[in-house]
């Protein structure tokens, strides 16, 4: 019979393997970003019954991609040999764009989505925002709509290169 210490060691290896698999799952709407890049992946654990438990948190509470995240996590973990997987949605602490890393923001820009600007804590009823065009780098841009192709994005337009673009809203 394996000692408790050995079991914990195994669990840690298992956990690291499971994390590596889960961390590679991408957002179906923004396929250049992984759930880890987005800060949506919160925790991966190995439970007492050997199941892998994954915690994810929604960007917006009604985000329809959560169902796809769950399915993709289950599929990818199953492919890697994890038969028992439980994906849990956690709401607290509330997701913020501050969790998107600098590298991930750069990936967003390259993909054509303007990354969130500034810190989430800054807020006024009618705040002035400056958003840089992800295509030509101009700051001469205007908001077309607070709401874009997904809950987390707004629609903007560049006055210099005339391209419309998505802006990842700062929350």
Partner 1 sequence: MNDRLFAYTLRLADDAAILGQRLGEWCGHAPTLEEDIGLANIALDHIGQARALYTYAGEVEGKGRDEDQLCFLRKEREFSNCLLVEQPNGDFAETIARQFFFSAFMLPFWEKMKASRDETLAAIAAKAEKEAAYHLRHSAEWVIRLGDGTRESHERMQDAIELLWPFTGELFEADDTVKALVAEGIAVDPATMRDVWGETVKKVLGQATLEMPEEGWAQTGGRSGIHSEHFGHLLTAMQYMQRAYPGLKW
Binding-site ranges for partner 1 (CB under 8 A): 58, 60-64, 91-95, 120, 123, 125-126, 144-149, 151, 155, 169, 171
CB of 171 to partner 1, least distance (A): 4
CB of 125 to partner 1, least distance (A): 6
- Residue whose CB is less far from partner 1, 95 or 165: 95
- Residue whose CB is less far from partner 1, 69 or 82: 69
Please state, in angstroms and rounded to a whole number, the distance separating the CA atoms of residues 52 and 65.
Answer: 21
- Residue whose CB is less far from partner 1, 79 or 123: 123
Please state, in angstroms and rounded to a whole number, the distance separating the CA atoms of residues 165 and 23.
Answer: 27
Both tokens assigned to 135: 């295509």
Local structure of 166: helix, strand or coil: strand
The 8-class DSSP code of residue 8 comes to H
Please state, as a whole number, how many other Cβ atoms lie within 10 Å of the Cβ of residue 79.
9
Please state, in angstroms and rounded to a whole number, the distance separating the CA atoms of residues 102 and 90.
Answer: 24
CB of 111 to partner 1, least distance (A): 20
CB of 112 to partner 1, least distance (A): 18
- Residue whose CB is less far from partner 1, 5 or 127: 127
């Amino acid at each position: 019979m394996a000692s408790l210490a050995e079991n914990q060691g195994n669990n840690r290896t298992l956990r690291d393997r499971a994390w590596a698999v889960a961390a590679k799952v991408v957002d179906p709407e923004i396929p250049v970003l992984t759930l880890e890049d987005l800060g949506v992946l919160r925790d991966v654990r190995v439970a007492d019954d050997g199941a892998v438990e994954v915690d994810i948190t929604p960007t917006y509470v009604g985000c329809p991609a959560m169902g796809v995240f769950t399915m993709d996590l289950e599929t990818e973990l199953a492919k890697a040999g994890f038969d028992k997987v439980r994906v849990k949605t956690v709401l607290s602490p509330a997701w913020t764009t501050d969790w998107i890393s600098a590298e991930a923001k750069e990936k967003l820009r390259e993909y054509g989505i303007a990354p969130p600007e500034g810190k989430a804590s800054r807020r006024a009823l009618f705040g002035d925002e400056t958003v840089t065009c992800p295509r030509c780098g101009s700051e001469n841009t205007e908001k077309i709509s607070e709401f874009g192709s997904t809950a987390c994005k707004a629609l903007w337009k560049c006055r210099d290169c005339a391209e419309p673009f998505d802006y990842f809203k700062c929350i």
